[in-house]
Amino acid sequence: MTDVAAPASAPTGPAPTPPRRRHTARWVAVGVLVVAAGLTAVLAASPSATLAQVQSPLIGKPAPPISGPTIAGTDFSLPKAPGKFIVLNFFASWCVPCQNEGTQLVAFQFQHQAAGDASMVSVVFNDTVAAARLYQQDQLGATWPTLTDANGKLALDYGVEGQPTTFLIAPDGRVVAHIVSPVTAADLDQLIARAKALGE
């Protein structure tokens, strides 16, 4: 039997495999190509994010109740059907995009005050009330109500993920838009026009 073990040094020859070819690599490549094409198609078909308007489970639903103490020390409560468009803005005084947005919001409020078709409501988010008051009243000169939301209940009810976050609420009290980037007065006018066109 030793003479059987002896030729162990000889190199291993090719196994007698059947001559059928399987083209495995080709099929794998085709599979990868199909997946990549599908992914590209899905991404191409999704709407582009010009104004970072994002999906929110609240859109189309009645806005969660907006009430509570304001930074001015008064109590504020928005009616369920406010009768005009409400721009609900979550902000922090230290947040630079919020500061850039602030003047636009003041302009928006000024433009719509006389017509009475839209109004601002702000909510302090991730900030102290004192800092928010200093910024909102003294620096910005905002005259609309700003809620303190001390326990974060409003932020929770609206699913706020960061600042600034803006919701547009229709006169009948339903949420019609959710924006997670700084807005301009023109953006808001455009959103209101679209909501009106859709029959709000």
How many DSSP H helices and E strands does the chain contain? Answer: 6, 7
State the distance between the two ends of the chain, measured CA to CA, in whole angstroms.
95
Q: How far is the CB of 24 from other proteins (least distance, A)?
A: 12
Of the candidates 85, 91, 108, 158, which one interacts with other proteins according to CB under 8 A?
Answer: 158
Q: How far is the CB of 148 from other proteins (least distance, A)?
A: 14
Q: Between 79 and 152, whose beta carbon lies closer to other proteins?
A: 152
User: What's the rounded Cα separation, in Å, for the pair 190 and 175?
Assistant: 16
User: What's the rounded Cα separation, in Å, for the pair 193 and 178?
Assistant: 15
User: What's the rounded Cα separation, in Å, for the pair 133 and 67?
Assistant: 18
Instruction: Kindly state whether residue 10 participates in binding other proteins, applying the rule CB under 8 A.
Output: yes
Instruction: Kindly state whether residue 44 participates in binding other proteins, applying the rule CB under 8 A.
Output: no
Residues 162-181 that bind other proteins (CB under 8 A): 162
Binding stretches for other proteins (CB under 8 A): 1, 3-8, 10-16, 55-58, 125-126, 151-152, 155-162
